[in-house]
Amino acid sequence: MSGLSPSQKELYSQLGYLVVPGFLPIETCQTLRERAAFLVDGFDPQTVSIFSTKNQSSTTDDYFLNSGRDIRFFFEEEAFLPNGQLRQEKAHSINKIGHALHTLDPVFSALSASESILGVVRDLGMKSPVQLQSMYIFKNPFIGGDVACHQDGTFLYTEPESVTGLWFALEDATVENGCLWALPGGHVEPLRRRFVRTPGGKTQMLPLHSAPLPDVAPSVPWVPVEVPAGTLVLLHGRLPHWSGANRSPKSRHAYAVHVVDAACHYPDDNWLQPGPVS
């Protein structure tokens, strides 16, 4: 496969997201899972950074803020017992790896440079598309945390707005193990806020619009994006979406890459500063 068909482009324009089953071969999914396991195995947690979407301004640390040029590991909120010991083995305690796998790791960079992905990126309508950020998301059994309702443009803001997410299911994603939920057509609504750096190495959520994000509920108008391994889900930067916690015994591994237009201005106060994108 190379690129998107006219009907796929039209559906994406209408809904703000697009589901493309069978985009990655199952063998590729397995290779990426094995590579992530290898990276976690070699991770010696001298620094413990916990990823949370509930109060990011207060939980963001330097390790996270400086991850745009590195491969770093972030634990689940529920990974630790009160005494500081892990509840379960390290391999099942990591929330995600980020945020430069697509440039610094040979396996993930090879995928990012593949013709199948470059074909989709070319069809996004950007003048100068750049893969800016990547994440390997584990959603581990029993402790996989929920991701609050958000718009990707909040975190990767350009002027004009341009970010698009490519989310790859590396395992089957279901309601039970914390699949994505999307709001069809929600991308026509305004961007609500920006996550920015502030003086002194801090961060804050900067309001852009008075309308709140829609309330989260596992029911209409929200749609569960239940997909098999190998599926690509394309996400518009303004589309509200979220995912539930994983309390099941099955993990929900995924790989995500975010693309922006380098022809757009990338502000210096964006939390992620990966390099010379202006």
Structural domains in the chain, sorted by start: 6-261 (2.60.120.620)
CB 188 within 8 A of CB 51: no
Sequential pLDDT tens for the chain (278 residues): 479 999 999 999 999 999 999 999 999 999 999 999 999 999 987 666 665 555 544 445 788 888 999 999 999 988 888 888 888 888 999 999 999 999 999 999 999 999 999 999 999 999 999 999 999 999 999 999 999 999 999 999 999 999 999 999 999 999 999 999 999 999 999 999 999 999 888 899 999 999 999 999 999 999 999 999 999 999 999 999 999 999 999 999 999 999 999 999 999 999 998 764 43
What does the alpha-carbon distance between residue 260 and residue 275 come to, in Å, rounded to a whole number? 13
Phi, psi (deg, nearest 5) at residue 119: -65, -40
Cis preceding-peptide flag for 221 (omega within 30 of 0): yes
Which two structure tokens, joined as six digits, stand for 162?
């341009």
* pLDDT, position 45: 77
Burial class, 19, CB count within 10 angstroms (exposed 0-12 / middle 13-18 / buried 19+):
buried
CB 16 within 8 A of CB 184: yes
User: Which of these, 72, 83, 81, 82, lies nearest to 48 by C-alpha position?
Assistant: 72
